[in-house]
Structure 1
């Protein structure tokens, strides 16, 4: 009996090639475009409308049904609200991680199952492998495009029902397949940035939803050296856009901390300043792919941001259920609010949200805790 697959089509080349590959394998494919955000860009164009149109063109080319589904309320309640709340806490969130957890592999999956789907499919560069009755999340074959980092909070229910048709391919091969079959999106540029912000000015977007207040910029030696435009506009490790060039030694300045109560932005000069480096972190809300914690202490590797090289770490669970992740060597610009994702070789174990960091030198503890 032919298996039914509901494919999440975004209007990009990756999901277009997914549709092609699924059809070639003779699945009963239905394409579904998720409308998660309704807003026009600075030119008055609704990019979701354009993307949906592109997805429909490809579906028509391939002769597969195309529909749209509206998840705007779910997205606002579970992703956008989380995004704003994290900024209010002075952290730097990763909404793509939450979108995968709450929308693509939860709300979308539920919707697909109501359509009698056997599987859902997505255009992520990642792989699923079944071993001894459990579903493992593996890195994508293309190391430069691997998206397992964004999927580390996906559990067994979703993985057991998910196909990643391009996970075993590199981006070049995906483009070539699209061009070979004259798919409408073959030469379409990859989308960049956060989906609901797109190409807009990020600071202006935040100012529309959150109150900001100017405050002092103080260096780690206690000197007041400038004014910031609002703490939400800055993230740990940031170099550009601080507005204090030409002061001190001439080396670049970096954001190294925030004090929300006093509305202070802390900075340090020099790309190797010790205040930029941490030796461990505490991660909250741990989520495990196998839905059970591994044995501790756990020696593995971690990524604290997308496309970062793997960092050797030792992981332990604290009494409150949070994770303590110690680094073999100090790591630069580890940022609260981002996700710490753990790996054993090619297998993604899961992840936790970075709550706090332990600086390389104790005298800098005041900066972010």
Structure 2
């Protein structure tokens, strides 16, 4: 927007959100920074010497002081546990592969935080900004509010539209992403030129709520161990024992200590507490190109895939990163009224094979550089519809209040 705005800025202590704040201030906007305190792992204090968020908050304060911007710490630990962590634990228990970073955005950063702003400040802020690598475009409409589109960024590696595809239209309508037209290297250069306190700080890696806690440590703390058989997928022959199927993910190679490898995890059978492995992971009969998914989250009523060939091919990402597949989406009308709403399900056929398709992950759809929305992968099928499907529990019921 060309006018000066009153902006609530989400500040994490990292260089991306700090530069976003710097750019907004330079553009003349009035900014109020917010640090969301969502760390919950007091039980893991022995893994480090200090609270995991103290360093983040210290950097955030330094940046705000240098820019003359007020900073407020918002405690959302309870909301974070209820809306993200507990559901992730239950998904892992069900043998699925959740995406807590996706939930963190839709349920906390742009969910619980929105609730906090509305309760505390009413309509004081015109926009909520963050350091995500994404673009939003507002297209005026005659008889309704502007259509807000979520678009890809120039940096295909850092692009974060995948993690934002689960936002509701209402949530998306309030956001702005100052870094949307920048690459990571440009952000680093601008941060250095502005002499930001965290200009040389490394990017955070891994699952949002784990911090320095390793995935196995987190799972063992919350789910414990449950020994069971490791079976050869082709023969059913027992090869060894595992300490819990929840420690494994489809496509995993490391940590499988069996002779004659390399061995890869190809499926988990939660009913038998079995992990199925194979040495022929990349063989033709193990390839996957089809999965069912749903329910859908469309970012706007007009963002469903356009069947008109002039709209361009449909693409899908099955994980965060630069890679996406050309695909065919066959929607199944859940209501039977032709609306194909958010409660619909679909079947996706990829133009290429992907060995690592996993139930519980998100499929995010794109057309002509625009992120249309997403759906949860429910079941994967081998090429040609061969019988191997992941045998996992039903999706966990998780609060999605926003």
Common topology (TM > 0.5): yes
Any residues of structure 2 matched to 1:93-104 within 5 Å, and which? Answer: 93-104=98-109
Native 8 Å contact 1:296 1:315 kept in 2: no
Aligned to 1:347: 370
Scaled by the length of structure 2, the TM-score of the pair is 0.86
Aligned to 2:353: 330
CA deviation vs aligned residue, 1:177-231 (integer Å, no higher than 9, x gap): 1111111000001011112212222112111111431111111222211111210
2:179 pairs with 1:166? yes
Aligned to 1:123: 131
Aligned to 2:196: 183
Q: Which moved more, 1:311-320 or 1:25-34?
A: 311-320
Q: For structure 2, which runs of at least 5 residues remain unmatched after alignment?
A: 141-145, 335-343, 393-402
Match of residue 83, structure 1, among 65, 85, 88: 88
Any residues of structure 2 matched to 1:200-279 within 5 Å, and which? Answer: 200-220=213-233, 221-244=235-258, 246-247=259-260, 250=261, 252-274=262-284, 276-279=286-289
Q: Which moved more, 1:132-141 or 1:9-18?
A: 132-141
Native 8 Å contact 1:218 1:265 kept in 2: yes
Compute the displacement of 1:296 (Å): 7.5
If asked which structure has higher relative contact order (CA below 8 Å, sep 6+), I would say 2
- Secondary structure at 1:331 match in 2: coil
Native 8 Å contact 2:381 2:389 kept in 1: no
Any residues of structure 2 matched to 1:283-362 within 5 Å, and which? Answer: 283-291=293-301, 294=304, 300-320=314-334, 321-362=344-385
2:50 pairs with 1:50? no
- Secondary structure at 2:272 match in 1: coil
2:78 pairs with 1:73? yes
Could you say what the CA RMSD is over the residues aligned between the two structures, in angstroms?
1.9
Match of residue 59, structure 1, among 64, 75, 92: 64
Distance 1:58 1:296 in 2: 44
Aligned to 1:140: 153
Question: Is the alpha carbon distance of 1:260 and 1:38 closer, same or farther for their aligned partners in structure 2, counting shifts above 3 Å?
Answer: closer
Compute the displacement of 1:267 (Å): 0.9
Native 8 Å contact 2:287 2:383 kept in 1: yes
Q: For structure 1, which runs of at least 5 residues remain unmatched after alignment?
A: none
Distance 1:271 1:366 in 2: 14
Distance 1:243 1:175 in 2: 41
Question: Is the alpha carbon distance of 1:34 and 1:236 closer, same or farther for their aligned partners in structure 2, counting shifts above 3 Å?
Answer: same
Distance 1:191 1:35 in 2: 16
Distance 2:286 2:246 in 1: 19
Native 8 Å contact 1:297 1:315 kept in 2: no
Native 8 Å contact 2:150 2:371 kept in 1: yes
Compute the displacement of 1:292 (Å): 5.4
Native 8 Å contact 2:110 2:171 kept in 1: yes
Question: Is the alpha carbon distance of 1:276 and 1:37 closer, same or farther for their aligned partners in structure 2, counting shifts above 3 Å?
Answer: farther
Distance 2:302 2:372 in 1: 10
- Secondary structure at 2:297 match in 1: strand
Kindly indicate which of the two structures has a greater share of residues assigned to strand: 1
- Secondary structure at 2:388 match in 1: helix
Distance 2:257 2:346 in 1: 36
Aligned to 1:199: 212
Compute the displacement of 1:340 (Å): 0.4
- Secondary structure at 2:53 match in 1: helix
Native 8 Å contact 2:292 2:347 kept in 1: yes
- Secondary structure at 1:262 match in 2: coil
Native 8 Å contact 1:219 1:225 kept in 2: yes
The alignment of Structure 1 onto Structure 2 pairs a total of residues equal to 365
